[in-house]
């Protein structure tokens, strides 16, 4: 589904909740990665991403839905959407308001790299279901970072990947 359609659906469906306590409406932008250098493949590491996430907050538990679109590691325009669970840990020290370990259950419609028997590579775009852990670190009520570590596995990614993006909590401005 195209990002603008998700944006419209999320905006109109969740607008009544945006200024309510107990909810977070977050804009995600950017996306920068580092891939372990186990091969000579030239990965894209600047992702030009844009996304939205909406969370219902219940005590320290956050239940959310989200959509993220970016140029993936193979420069293929990709879409990621699904459900998130976050647990809030208040820090209020070292210029960090809180950290939120997150588990995302998502569909990734992106490029996938395959190594052919002759040593050449093929990139194919298709959907896969993924479970991805991450860590959201909020500096204050309005701004934070999302950190991802994607391990090297045969069924998901060829290389270990570190990924970061910016997070703005829109209903706190």
Domain positions in the chain are 3-172
Residue 137: its pLDDT value, please? 98
Which position has the higher pLDDT, 37 or 131?
Answer: 131
pLDDT digits 0-9 by tens, 21-73:
788 889 999 999 998 876 677 889 999 999 999 999 999 999 999 999 999 99
Residue 107: its pLDDT value, please? 95
Phi then psi for residue 160, to 5 deg, are -70, 135
Instruction: Compute the mean pLDDT over every residue in the chain, rounded to the nearest whole number.
Output: 86
Q: What is the pTM of this model?
A: 0.85
The CATH code of domain 3-172 reads 2.40.160.20
- Residues 6 or more apart whose CB falls under 8 angstroms from that of 108 comprise 78, 79, 80, 127, 128, 129, 130
């Amino acid at each position: 589904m195209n990002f603008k359609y998700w944006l419209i659906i999320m905006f109109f469906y969740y607008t009544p909740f945006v200024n309510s306590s107990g909810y977070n409406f977050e804009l995600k932008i950017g996306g920068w990665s580092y891939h372990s250098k186990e091969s000579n493949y030239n990965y894209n590491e600047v992702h030009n991403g844009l996304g939205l996430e909406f969370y219902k907050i219940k005590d320290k538990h956050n239940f959310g839905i989200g959509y993220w679109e970016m140029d993936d590691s193979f420069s293929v325009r990709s879409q990621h959407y699904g459900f998130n669970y976050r647990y809030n840990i208040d820090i209020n020290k070292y210029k960090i308001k809180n950290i939120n370990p997150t588990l995302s259950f998502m569909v990734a419609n992106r490029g996938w790299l395959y190594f052919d028997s002759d040593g050449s590579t093929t990139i194919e775009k298709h959907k896969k279901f993924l479970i991805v852990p991450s860590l959201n670190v909020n500096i204050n009520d309005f701004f934070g970072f999302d950190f991802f570590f994607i391990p090297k596995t045969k069924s998901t990614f060829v290389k270990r990947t570190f990924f970061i993006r910016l997070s703005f909590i829109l209903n706190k401005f």
